[in-house]
Structure 1
Amino acid sequence: MTAFAIPAPAQPSVAIAGGDRRFPVRRIFCVGRNYAAHAREMGNDERDPPFFFTKPADAVVDSGSTIPYPPLTKDLHHEIELVVAIGKAGFRLAPEAALSHVWGYGVGIDLTRRDLQDVAKKAARPWDWAKGFDRSAPCGPLVPAEKVGHPTSGRIWLAVNGAVKQDGDLNELIWPVADIVAICSQAMELQPGDLIYTGTPAGVGPLAAGDKVTGGVDGIGTVELTVGSPQ
C-alpha cells in the first residue's frame, strides 16, 4: 500500500443513471466553439478547426447541487453541453473507431467567468482562471452508450428560472462526437474516466445568485443547479 505524506484527495466522480454506481473522473476536456451560431455570437469564425481547453477533475459537481457564486467575477455565464464519457484507452484514433471508446453520455454545464475570459483573450493569456475554477463543471447522471446509442441529433437546451435561454440540436455540432474524440486523441492518450464537454449552442448568458438552472439533452438526461450567494 502506498504511503502518502498527506491524506489522498477523494476521487472525483459522476453519478450513473439508474443505480448507485459512479463513474470515476480522470480529466475533463472541453471543446470551444463547436456550434456555428455560438461561434458567431462570440465574434469568431465557425470555420475554424476545433480547439480544446481543460478543467480539473474535481470541478465536477452533481446535478441538484447548490454552488456558490464564484469569486473574482461579476459575469458568470452558463454553457449547456453534451458530455462524452470515455471508457477505453485510445491514442491517435480514426473517427470510425472513436465511438467504440465511448462509455456513455451525460448533460453538463461549462460555467465560465466571462469577464476573466475576455481579459485573458485580449492579453493572449490562458483561459484557466476563467474556465477551471471550483465547481465549474456540473454534470448530470451518465447513461451507458449501450442503452442510448451514440446521439447525432436531439434537442439540447438550458433554462434559467424557467425561461429558456439556450435551445439547439446536436445535429448542429460542427464536429460530431466521433470527430471530437478522434481529434482529441491526436494530442492526448485518452484514458478511462476522461470526460469531453462537446461545446455549447447559442444563447449563453449571465447567472446571478439565487438563479435556478435546468437543462437537458433529449434521450440523454438533464442537469440542475442553484447558484448560491457569493463566496
Structure 2
Amino acid sequence: MDSPHIAVQAGTFFASIFVVATTTMRTMIPLRVFGIITNVILITTSIFSHAYPTLLLHAVLLPLNGYRLHQMLQLVRDVKKSVNSDLSMEWLKPFMTERCCATGEVLFYKDEKAEDMFYIVSGRYRLVESGIELPVGAIVGELGMLSPLNERTQTLECIEGGTVLGVSYRQVEELYVQNPEFGFYFLRLASARLFQNIGRLEQRLAEYTVQTPAPAAAPAPAAQGSA
C-alpha cells in the first residue's frame, strides 16, 4: 500500500472521529474549533486523493468556521471588557438591525410584551413615566428580558428623530446558549445595570426627601384654668 493511500485512509479516519465528536458538543466555540480541525484534515486528504469537490467544499467552510470562531471569541472579550469598564453595549452591534425613528414615535408602551432591546445611535428619546431622557449610546429595554412576565415597565418615546439599533431577546438567548461564558458575562452586565438603576432611584428619593420640608408640629392646646 503506497504512502498517499495510507495518508488518505488515516485522514478520513481522524476526520470521522472529529465529525462524531462535534455531534456531542452543546456550545459553539468547541464546535467551531473541531470544525476547523476537520476542514484541515479533509482538505489535506482531498489533495492526496484528488477529491476536488470535497477539497472545494472544505476550502469554503474553513474560512467560514474561522470567521465565526473569531466573532464569538471577540464577543466574549468585548462583554468581559464592558463588565469591567463602562457597561457599553458596543459588542452587540454586529447582531443588531437599524431602525429610523420619527419625532413623536413611540418605540414601545408600558405593560406591553417585551421582545427586544435598543441601542441609541442618534436622536433624543424619553421614558415617559419617569421623564428620564436617554443619551446617545444608551441601551434601553434589556431588563424586560429578565422580568418574569417580559413586560415593559415604561413607555419609550422619540422626542427628536434619530436612529436606534435593535436586537431581539431571541438572538441574545441564542448567543447565551451557544456560549455559556457569554451568558455569564451578560448576566453580570444586566445585574450591574439593574443596580445602577436602583442607585439612581435611591439618589432621587434622597434628593426629594431633602427638598420636602417636614410638616410643622401642631401647637399644644392652651391650659384652661378653673372658674
TM-score range, shorter chain: under 0.3
Considering fraction of residues, name the structure with more helix: 2
What TM-score, normalized to structure 1? Answer: 0.21
What TM-score, normalized to structure 2? Answer: 0.21
Considering fraction of residues, name the structure with more strand: 1
